[in-house]
Amino acid sequence: MKRIVFATGNSNKLRELREILGADYEVCGLRDIGCDDDIPETADTFEGNALLKAQWVRDRYGVDCIAEDAGLEVDALGGAPGVLSARFAGPGHDSRANNELLLRRLEGVADRRARFRTSLVLLRADGPHFFEGKIEGDILEAPRGEGGFGYDPLFVPKGWTKTFAEAGAEEKNAVSHRGQAVAALQRFIESENKSR
Ligand code: ITT
């Protein structure tokens, strides 16, 4: 089994990565390598923040790792909350407060278009390798569903009638921003293994 360190403190992201990568991989989180650092995310792009997290872990813990920065971009809010998605309603990761604030900001707004975006980086001695994912959709006027995490109860992917929080894990992972980025990472690892 291949061991991968995922530089995240978000247990939902960790669960999704384990679901997507399957039984061939042992995915370790930050806690598994003894890290409970509050890693600064001060860049203004997803890519920049993903790299900051990966570099922090590689520099201090000496392991190759993957890291990810993701968020929701809402067109009517000029792309907000974007890189501030986890802290939209203030410090901490309070999804309920974030969702409530999003609904307040969109009160009376007809244009509900939004997308989840992620930038995932694999950082090794040979440098960083980036993988992207994006899923378009719309923001509802009230949350629906108990699954997923974060903004999932408010997000209906384009062409769907249910939210990510009403979908099963497999259904979400098959189309999600994170699913796309991890699939690209898998293709990269497989193509490297083949050419060895
Ligand atoms: P790490 O930095 O430790 O990985 P985090 O939760 O702080 O965990 P981000 O900085 O990447 O992660 O913030 C992403 C936020 O965007 C996350 O907390 C959710 O609010 C939202 N988000 C990202 N992916 C999502 C998804 O698949 N479904 C719903 N919300 C998501």
Contacts of 2 (CB under 8 A, 6+ apart): 24, 25, 26
Q: What is the pLDDT of residue 24?
A: 83
The preferred substitution site among 72, 87, 118, 182 for testing ligand 1, maximizing ligand atoms within 8 Å of CB, is 72
CATH number at residue 53: 3.90.950.10
Query: What letter does residue 6 receive in the DSSP assignment?
Result: B
In short, whether 178's Cβ falls inside 6 Å of ligand 1 is: yes
**Averages of pLDDT over each 10 residues, the chain, 196 residues:** 89 91 89 93 97 97 95 98 96 92 98 98 95 98 97 98 97 97 93 83
- Which position among 37, 69, 138, 152 bears the catalytic label? 69
In short, whether 86's Cβ falls inside 6 Å of ligand 1 is: yes
What is the per-residue pLDDT across 98-127, written as a single tens digit (0 to 9) for each? 999 999 999 999 999 999 999 999 999 999
6 CA from centroid of ligand 1 (Å): 14
Query: Which pair of tokens denotes residue 33?
Result: 């390598």
pTM (two decimals): 0.95
Domain that includes residue 98, residue range: 2-195
Contact between residue 102 and residue 81 where contact means Cβ atoms under 8 Å apart: yes
Contacts of 146 (CB under 8 A, 6+ apart): 153, 165
Domain count, the chain: 1
Q: Which residues are 138's β-sheet partners?
A: 113, 156
Q: Which amino acid is at 53?
A: K
CA 153 to mean position of chain CA atoms: 15
Provide the edge-to-edge strand list for the sheet that holds 113-124.
65-74, 113-124, 127-139, 155-157
Q: Nearest residue CA, atom 7 of ligand 1?
A: 86
184 CA from centroid of ligand 1 (Å): 19
CA 13 to mean position of chain CA atoms: 6
Give CA–CA dist 102/33, Å, rounded: 35
Q: What is the pLDDT of residue 51?
A: 98
